[in-house]
Structure 1
Amino acid sequence: MMNTSESIANADAWVTGENSANTDDFSDRDYAQTYMLARLDRFTFVFPSSIIADITIFSQSQVLTVPFYHPACLGAIHYDGKIVALVSLRQVFGIPMTGIARSSLTVVRLSSAAGDLADLGLVVDAVLGSRSLSQLPSNLFAPNQAIKSSEGDLDMRLFRPEILDEQLWQPQRWIKAKSN
């Protein structure tokens, strides 16, 4: 079983781009890392702050829809001189929209530290604030780990880029044509 330092180093390896196999080099900078928490239905996603460029609220009317893409691709917006693709984490996890349609979207835009996901906008229900590493459960950083929150029935999960399917970025019309 991995110790806490190994688990945290493994979870943060993709952020730093380093091979985390050697945990002897685990430094104090890892303990200084802050994390942003975002709510998505009954889940709380924990994002390393180093991969977040910004958090913005956009009007639904600003979104340009993109046809033929996966339903999780809500569209794109022009922001800060760039085109930002918007992905609904609700759609990625198959969580239905409840209540009335929203007129605004809370978007967590990923930074260049997120690698291939840089400038991607992830649509969440709400931003809950930030926490230091010491304020988070240590077993949150174990592979495929979900933690039941002490504040009710919320599940806490570490955001991992592999949750986003590579097919998400392929126009669905082209995928169907290739498979015939």
Structure 2
Amino acid sequence: MVAVKELLEQHLCVRVREGKVFFWFDNWTGYGPLTCSTPPQFDILLNQAWRGNSWDVDLIHASCLSFNLGWLSDKSLNLSYEKDIFSWILLPLLKFKVRHATSISWLQSDLIHCLHQIQQPKIHHVVNWNKPPKGFYKLNTDGACKSSSGRGLIREHQGNVHSAFSSWYSVNGTSLKAEAFALL
């Protein structure tokens, strides 16, 4: 589980909009989380650390005494009311080197392979239940082959439930067979 957490921290990046991300633990710089060698006393949100047009140096320093505040002097933010966007990056920008370009060349063939397998989205059909004509009843049933049970409702022409049932039966097979047994 720790390995998965580390992988996420290395490859999950935030495009800052409203700044409701963690200053120390989220990757909002593109270089990885800002956790210091000494863990912070408490975490703060990015929009708490950025005050309009400058960094709240006192708040940042209070949360982690060992952090090099000079690094932030050339960083600025344009906060908005839009939601922050989390995205997956292949390599942390800080660790990118020319030799990594050759090590990620295998991704190109995998990506092309994946692009050929893109499927059209399935079309979902909305199913409506219609009331039976006046003077008639309608039987609605459902059967499940895994639990070997069936249930159903009998409704009258206004849609009100006239009666309901549930039964267990010993069926081994398909869901179609279970549906058929539910009718019995």
Ranked by relative contact order (alpha carbons within 8 Å, sequence separation 6 or more), the top structure is: 1
Structure with the bigger percentage of strand: 1
Which structure is larger by alpha-carbon Rg, 1 or 2? 2
Please give the TM-score of this superposition, normalised by the length of structure 2.
0.18
